[in-house]
Structure formats: structure tokens, C-alpha cells
């Protein structure tokens, strides 16, 4: 009869007390965590192993048993784990820093700035002033001309080096000057920053068109849609200047003018169909405090910048009505989906909408009190009259005029936008905030998108019996709805719309 290996529980490592503990663990509702322990087996008269040390399969022991036998093991394992984790984090960070340094060393970021001698800023508002100050600080020899309408602002910039209306306590760089003469401002300019509100841009640009060089790159800072024509700035500027080939870049992203003036870290996006032009704008504007990314998705950057102002009014209304954080999160999430639906229908990339110039700008505008559009919404939700609100403001809230244009644009592209439509109705004084909330909450629920996609695959793409059986099992969870969904999905293919847009509310 072959010799038998000594069973684990006869090993001196185990006492009767420990054996009892194992039985308790075995009867416990929770399975114990086990630690693999290897120990050598030496030959005895009752063992068939060879005379050399043998390393049999590891015995799994509960952590509590191992640690109770060796009090130092718990702290040793913990210290080693912590040390390993910190080492991984350190290496990851060092790798990121090395990559960043290597990238910066290869990029000639100062070429455009060195070649630039003059930049003109159209408009004397808060953001135009902040960008003029930023560019002026980039290079002391650079001439920065601000074209303004208000003679008082013009004098304050030239004599006191501050914009007395918007930033009376912030000193502007010495190389920032102001003028009311368009021809003088635009003469020999290398770049033009357009910071005039969207609704006044066409008439303003038509008035200075003869002074604009056909090759002058325009960097648009304005966000919104022209109310009557539904045009974006990429369409307004070339048309107003009578030059379809006018070089165009759009600058957007989460950025408050006050924080730019205070040199706080900010990140924005420049987008142009001409990659070299976008890169040039990046090199002109990027600094240690302002990070600039580039994109070719002009439509996505512009439409997100326009629609986020309308959504910010909705967020402000929720705040003004004291509806709570749950309502705020639900409303902004739904609004983000609506913006993405419309933008992608217009040819934008979904990644742009979820990126810095989309979601980033939406979060800033919807959740921070410095937002003009959010402030309008808060006051509307508190019961104030829109005309009184606008008369008391010294800055333009683009979302007010953009709201109606957004809904017209949504109808043009057959997209349902309940939240942004409600804002437009409130602004037109055809719906109270209280009634809008009640109607939004009572909108019908819809099926999760994964089920819709599965239905679409089964009924419209597949003809196999196995897949039909699979659909029947899935659809058991959604009784009495098959025919409705099937017809809706068939209609989806006919009219070319997406499934999400077929419903009042959607799921990501």
C-alpha cells in the first residue's frame, strides 16, 4: 500500500483552535479571502516524496489565519502593496512628463508669434478685452488695436489703460490701444479677433468690409446663431465681407473673461477647415495660462457654443425655482443629448460635442454664477420679467436671441428638443417656468436605446429563425409594445432619421 501524504490539518502550523476557526469560516455566509502559501515537504517514513525538498501545490489559507500566525506579515504585505502602487503612479507620471517635454521641444510654437506685428480686436466687450490683454501680454512689441464704438471706453483704454465699463480694476498692457476708426485699426493687421455679438455682426462687418484685407484671418469669439437666417459665424463673416474665401477660425471653450484677465489656467479650442490656419491660431494664442487645442470640426464647435447658452438659461431656471440638484443634473444631461442630436445631424462630430468646446463649455455655463445666460434663467425662475432682466444687464446674453433660432434649426433637421424648446417658449412669454417644468416631467417614457437597436437589428436586418426566437425572448420584458416599436423602427429607415430623434426624450 503506498504511503500517504500527511494531510494539511495535521501540520504543526494548525492548532485545534485554528481548525475550529476554519469550520466557522466554512459555515459563514461570506467566503473567506485566501492567500496562497507554499511550504516545503520533507520526507518522513510516511511520505512517498523523494529525499530532496518538494514544493507541492500551494495550500490556500485564509488571510486571518496567516496573519494571526505572523503578525508582521499583514503590515509587510500592506507596505509592499502601497510601495508598488506608488511606484506605478510615479513611473506613469514621469512617462507623461517626458512625452510632454519631447513634444514641446519638437514644436516651434513661437514662429507665428514672432512674425506677427499687429492684431486687431473687433469689439470692446468683456471677452474681447480679455483676449486683447492676453495677446498683448504674449509679446510686448506686438501692437494690439481694439476697434470700439463707445468713445468713453476708447478714452479709458488709451488714457487709463483699463476698460472702465467691464474691467475698471484691471490694468491693460501698454501695447493695447483703442480706436473708433476701422480703417486705422485694420491697416496692416496680421490677425483679426471678432468679438461683436452675433445679432449685430452682419451689419457691423458690412460697414467695415472695404477696410478688410481678403487674406486677413478672422478668429471668431462670438457664440450664437443669427435669429432670422439661422447662420453661424462661419457663414456670417464671409457673407458680410463679400469674400467666401476669407480665412476663418473659431475659438471656443469653457472660459470666463474675468478669469482670463486674472491669468487663471484655461483651456480652449481653435477650429478651422484649414489645419495650418488652426495651428497658426494655436501658436498665436497658447501660453502658460491658456492651453489651446486644434480641431477641424468648425460646425461642432460653433453649434455647441451656440446651444449651450440656451441650455444655461434652462439650468438657471431650475436654480431660480429651487428644484434641487437632481433636477439640475437630469435637465443638463437631457440638454446635452439634444445638442448632440442636432449637431451630428448638421455634420458635427459627436466627439466634439463631448469634448472641451462641448461638454466642457456646457458645464461652465450651466453651473457657475458668472454665466450671463444662467443669470437670466435664475431671474426668470425667480419670477422676474424678461424685459426687466435684459434692461438691467450691461452685457449681452446670447442665449435669449439664440433660443428661437435653435428651435427653427431643430425643425429644419427634424430633431426633437424638448428642453431647449421649453426655454424658447418661456422667452417668448408663451409658457411659464412652472408649467414648462410640469410638461417636461410628464413627457412619455421611452424604451432604452439598447432594446431599440436590438429590435432594429432583428426585424430589419435579419431573417433567420434563430434570431426571431431571440427577439421573442428579449421582447418578453416589453409586453404589448412590439407592434408600436416595430412600426416606429420601420419608419426610421424610411425618413432617414435616427431612432433617438423619433422620441421626445432619449437615452444615451
Give catalytic residues, as residue numbers.
Answer: 308
Contact call for residues 205 and 237 (beta carbons, < 8 A):
yes
Beta bridge partners of 294: 270
Residue with cell 489703460: 161
Cell numbers describing residue 402: 439664440
> What is the Cα–Cα distance from 298 to 352, expressed in whole angstroms?
9
> What is the Cα–Cα distance from 470 to 460, expressed in whole angstroms?
14
Kindly report the CA angle at 149 between 146 and 151, in degrees rounded to 5? 90
Kindly report the CA angle at 86 between 85 and 88, in degrees rounded to 5? 65
Which is nearest to 228 in space by CA: 191, 199, 267? 199
Non-local CB neighbours of 43 within 8 Å, separated by 6+ positions: 49, 50, 51
The two most distant CA atoms of the chain are separated, in Å, by: 111
The torsion angle over the Cα atoms of residues 277, 299, 405 and 191, rounded to 10 degrees, is -10
Non-local CB neighbours of 148 within 8 Å, separated by 6+ positions: 123, 124, 154, 157, 178, 179, 180
> What is the Cα–Cα distance from 394 to 257, expressed in whole angstroms?
14
> What is the Cα–Cα distance from 30 to 9, expressed in whole angstroms?
22
Non-local CB neighbours of 478 within 8 Å, separated by 6+ positions: 447, 451, 485
- Residue 101 exposed, middle or buried by CB count within 10 Å (0-12, 13-18, 19+): exposed
Residue with cell 469674400: 243
Cell numbers describing residue 58: 500551494
- The rounded Cα 162 to chain-centroid distance in angstroms is 33
Amino acid at each position: 500500500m503506498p504511503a500517504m501524504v500527511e494531510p494539511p490539518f495535521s501540520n504543526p502550523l494548525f492548532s485545534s483552535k485554528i481548525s475550529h476557526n476554519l469550520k466557522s469560516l466554512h459555515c459563514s455566509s461570506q467566503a473567506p479571502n485566501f492567500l496562497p502559501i507554499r511550504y516545503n515537504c520533507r520526507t518522513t517514513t510516511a511520505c512517498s516524496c523523494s529525499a530532496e525538498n518538494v514544493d507541492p501545490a500551494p495550500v490556500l489559507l485564509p488571510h486571518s489565519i496567516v496573519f494571526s500566525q505572523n503578525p508582521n506579515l499583514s503590515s509587510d504585505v500592506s507596505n509592499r502593496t502601497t510601495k508598488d502602487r506608488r511606484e506605478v503612479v510615479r513611473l506613469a507620471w514621469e512617462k507623461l512628463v517626458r512625452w510632454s517635454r519631447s513634444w514641446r521641444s519638437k514644436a516651434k510654437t513661437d514662429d507665428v508669434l514672432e512674425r506677427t506685428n499687429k492684431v486687431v480686436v473687433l469689439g470692446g466687450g468683456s471677452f474681447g478685452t480679455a483676449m486683447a490683454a492676453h495677446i498683448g501680454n504674449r509679446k510686448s512689441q506686438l501692437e494690439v488695436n481694439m476697434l470700439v464704438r463707445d468713445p468713453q471706453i476708447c478714452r479709458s483704454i488709451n488714457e487709463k489703460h483699463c476698460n472702465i465699463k467691464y474691467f475698471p480694476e484691471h490694468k491693460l498692457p501698454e501695447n493695447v490701444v483703442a480706436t473708433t476708426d476701422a480703417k486705422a485699426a485694420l491697416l496692416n493687421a496680421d490677425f483679426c479677433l471678432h468679438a461683436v455679438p452675433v445679432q449685430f455682426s452682419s451689419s457691423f462687418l458690412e460697414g467695415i468690409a472695404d477696410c478688410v484685407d481678403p487674406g486677413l484671418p478672422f478668429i471668431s469669439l462670438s457664440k450664437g446663431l443669427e435669429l432670422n437666417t439661422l447662420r453661424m459665424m462661419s457663414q456670417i463673416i464671409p457673407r458680410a465681407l463679400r469674400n467666401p474665401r476669407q480665412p476663418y477660425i473659431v475659438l471656443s471653450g469653457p472660459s470666463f473673461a474675468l478669469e482670463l484677465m486674472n491669468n487663471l489656467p484655461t483651456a480652449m479650442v481653435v477650429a478651422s477647415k484649414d489645419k495650418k490656419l488652426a495651428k497658426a491660431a494655436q501658436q498665436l494664442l497658447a501660453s502658460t495660462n491658456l492651453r489651446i487645442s486644434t480641431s477641424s470640426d468648425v460646425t461642432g464647435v460653433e453649434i455647441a457654443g451656440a446651444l449651450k447658452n440656451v441650455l444655461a438659461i434652462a439650468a438657471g431656471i431650475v436654480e431660480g425655482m429651487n428644484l434641487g440638484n437632481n433636477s439640475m443634473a437630469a435637465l443638463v444631461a437631457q440638454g446635452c443629448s439634444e445638442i448632440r442630436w442636432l449637431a451630428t445631424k448638421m455634420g458635427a462630430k459627436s466627439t466634439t460635442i463631448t469634448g472641451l468646446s462641448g461638454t466642457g463649455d456646457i458645464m461652465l455655463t450651466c453651473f457657475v454664477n458668472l454665466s450671463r445666460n444662467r443669470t437670466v434663467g435664475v431671474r426668470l425662475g425667480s419670477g422676474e420679467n424678461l424685459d426687466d432682466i435684459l434692461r438691467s444687464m450691461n452685457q449681452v446674453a446670447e442665449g435669449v436671441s439664440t433660443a428661437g433660432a435653435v428651435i427653427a434649426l431643430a425643425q429644419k433637421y427634424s430633431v426633437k428638443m424638448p428642453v431647449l424648446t421649453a426655454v424658447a417658449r418661456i422667452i417668448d412669454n408663451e409658457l411659464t417656468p412652472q408649467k414648462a417644468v410640469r410638461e417636461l416631467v410628464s413627457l412619455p417614457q421611452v424604451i432604452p436605446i439598447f432594446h431599440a437597436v436590438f429590435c432594429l437589428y432583428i426585424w430589419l436586418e435579419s431573417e433567420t429563425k434563430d434570431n426571431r426566437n431571440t427577439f421573442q425572448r428579449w421582447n418578453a420584458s416589453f409586453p404589448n409594445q412590439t407592434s408600436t416599436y416595430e412600426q416606429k423602427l420601420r419608419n426610421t429607415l424610411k425618413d432617414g432619421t435616427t431612432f433617438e430623434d423619433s422620441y421626445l426624450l432619449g437615452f444615451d
